Copies of this chain bind each other. A is one copy, B any other.
Amino acid sequence: MESPAQVRQQIRAGRWRGPTAGLALGYAQANLVVLPQAYAYDFLVFCQRNPKPCPVLEVTDPGDPVPRHAAPDADLRTDLPRYRVYRDGELVEEVDHLRGLWREDLVAFLLGCSFTFEAALQRAGIPVRHLQCGCNVPMYVTNRPCRAAGPFAGPLVVSMRPVPEDQLPRVFQICSRYPLAHGAPVHVGDPQRLGIRDLDRPDYGDPVPVRDGEVPVFWACGVTPQAVAQRARIPLMITHSPGHMFVTDLRDEDLAWG
């Protein structure tokens, strides 16, 4: 098994450009959001006001590409396999590194990721449907507004995983332990209660089947802050590409409390 530092080294050297699921098992992976400093305060307040979709693991100093808490020997400009660049809310390119894009006024936010609780569910013998299916988790825009902060406002985005009814208590128990990885589900059952019309048509990711005896369970999703920053038409935002996360030195257990 490779260490987080080894994984990042492979990525930095250009030898890994794929998704990071399953790499450096036992270590937390993180969503990346990079914004100009002028927007960093409002974004951080947005995260404070919406901790379930936006659990903050780290905020870097302006211009500093090193996440000194989560991985002090890493470089956020080179250590993710793929990045997305948004200008004025529009996706303009996908890139392999940020060497030419980095600026002294950029602040990086690392946000906890669902991989952490999915690994915990699997350790407990609870299967995760989209992993079984080999596809992306289905994600939906809901009718629940986030609490706004400055220009950042918009609806909560949730991910959905079908759970057998008799495993619901265990799922709540396990996920509640990881508030920095979205924590306990935000809703169980009828998707209409979240304003979701058709589970087969997710707004992001891929649909997965909900089988007899299973209920759809919804978690606050890390796509929320990106979606909100896009709506705000921030001049420049850089994120990881979906599934191409930052591998931290934090153990999954470091995202537990308290």
Contact = CB atoms under 8 A, between A and B. Distances in A.
Interface of A: 40-41, 44-45, 48-49, 56, 58-59, 61, 68-69, 147, 149, 175-179, 183-184, 257-258
A178 B258 contact: yes
A176 B44 contact: no
The 9 closest A-B pairs by CB, nearest first: A179-B258, A183-B258, A41-B41, A179-B257, A176-B258, A45-B59, A44-B44, A257-B257, A48-B56
Interface of A: prevailing SS: mixed
Contact of A49 (B40, B49, B59, B179): B59
Given A61-B149, A177-B257, A183-B257, 13 more contacts: A41-B44, A44-B45, A44-B48, A45-B59, A48-B56, A48-B58, A48-B59, A49-B69, A175-B258, A176-B257, A176-B258, A184-B258, A257-B257
A72 to B, nearest CB: 12
11 contacts: A41-B44, A44-B44, A48-B56, A61-B149, A69-B147, A176-B257, A177-B258, A178-B258, A179-B258, A183-B257, A184-B258
A34 to B, nearest CB: 15
Contact of A179 (B45, B59, B179, B184): B179
Contacts of A258: 175-179, 183-184, 257
Contacts of A58: 48
Contacts of A44: 41, 44-45, 48
